[in-house]
């Protein structure tokens, strides 16, 4: 019995030691990966100095966008992420403008009807980017679908817009790497913003508010910070030509 007890203790000690080694290696791996990412960001940040970038927080004002069952509202999510992206890019030396900085749309107050307001709102967002002479326009949105199972951040570009495609693919790659919870790919799609923009443009759908788990993530400021960093990193890479 004594021999069996000693063997058990030795085995238990080995297991505990192995677990500690795994934990330490995991922590060191995370730290090392973060060091590499931060180093890459510092090198890439030089490329955006004095670049003109417009970030478009989707919806606003009378148009809330889609809503989740736990209280998430698209227009609030998109504005928060847009502000975070803008702050990062400004610190890197870029000239960054938001199409809206508060809870409003860009349509004239007197225009009635959702369709008419929406058309003018979108047209004015593009006009705003053109007036700023933007080199890049990124429109941030959240997705929704009747079936709650769908999830994952995804980007869209206009067919035939090679620069827009490049931008969308870089943001999508960043979503896959930084968020680690989407296998989606950048896709072409006929959207007003992309179709009518003269500069490189992409739509970034940051997740599905119709998916309960993803809505919880989008309500978390830390997760929105990760999204903003993913977009920021993609923009740095885009200008690293």
Q: State the DSSP string of 1-22.
A: -HHHHHHHHHHHHHHHHHHHHH
For 17-54, write each residue's pLDDT tens digit: 667 767 776 655 554 445 544 555 666 778 899 999 99
Does the pLDDT at position 177 exceed 90? yes
Residue in the structure block whose two tokens are 């058990």 = 8
pLDDT tens digit sequence for 57-75:
999 999 999 999 999 999 9
Closest by CA to 220, choosing from 181, 167, 171, 173, is: 181
Quote the mean pLDDT of the chain. Answer: 90
Determine the Cα–Cα distance for residues 129 and 167; give it in Å rounded to an integer.
16
Coil/strand/helix, residue 55: strand
- Residue 134: CA atoms inside 13 Å, Cβ hemisphere, count? 26
For 50-239, the fitting CATH number among 3.30.1370.160, 3.30.950.10, 3.20.20.140, 3.40.630.40 is 3.40.630.40
Residues 6+ apart with CB under 8 A from 164: 157, 158, 194, 197, 200, 201, 202
The closest alpha carbon to 83, from 66, 71, 96, 70, belongs to: 96
Region 134-163 average pLDDT: 97
Supply the pLDDT for residue 32. Answer: 47
pTM: 0.83
Q: What is the pLDDT of residue 40?
A: 55
CB 158 within 8 A of CB 199: no
* Nearest to 56, CA basis, from 180, 213, 205: 205
């Amino acid at each position: 019995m004594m021999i069996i007890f000693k063997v058990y203790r030795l085995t238990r000690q080995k297991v505990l030691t192995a677990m500690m080694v795994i934990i330490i290696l995991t922590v060191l791996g995370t730290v090392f990966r973060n060091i590499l990412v931060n180093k890459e960001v510092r090198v890439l940040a030089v490329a955006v100095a004095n670049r003109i970038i417009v970030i478009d927080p989707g919806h606003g004002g009378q148009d809330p966008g889609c809503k989740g069952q736990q209280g998430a509202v698209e227009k609030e999510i998109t504005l928060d992420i847009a502000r975070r992206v803008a702050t990062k890019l400004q610190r890197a030396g870029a000239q960054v403008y938001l199409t809206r900085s508060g809870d409003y749309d860009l349509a004239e107050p007197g225009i009635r009807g959702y369709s008419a307001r929406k058309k003018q709102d979108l047209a004015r967002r593009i006009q705003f980017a053109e007036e700023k002479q933007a080199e890049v326009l990124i429109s941030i949105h959240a997705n929704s679908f009747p079936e709650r199972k769908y999830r994952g951040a995804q980007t869209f570009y206009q067919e035939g817009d090679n620069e827009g495609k490049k931008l969308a693919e870089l943001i999508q790659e960043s979503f896959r790497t930084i968020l680690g919870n989407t296998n989606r790919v950048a896709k072409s799609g006929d959207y007003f913003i992309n179709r009518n923009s003269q500069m490189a443009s992409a739509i970034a759908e940051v997740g599905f508010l119709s998916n309960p788990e993803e809505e919880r993530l989008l309500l978390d400021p830390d997760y929105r910070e990760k999204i903003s960093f993913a977009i920021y990193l993609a923009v740095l890479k885009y200008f690293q030509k």
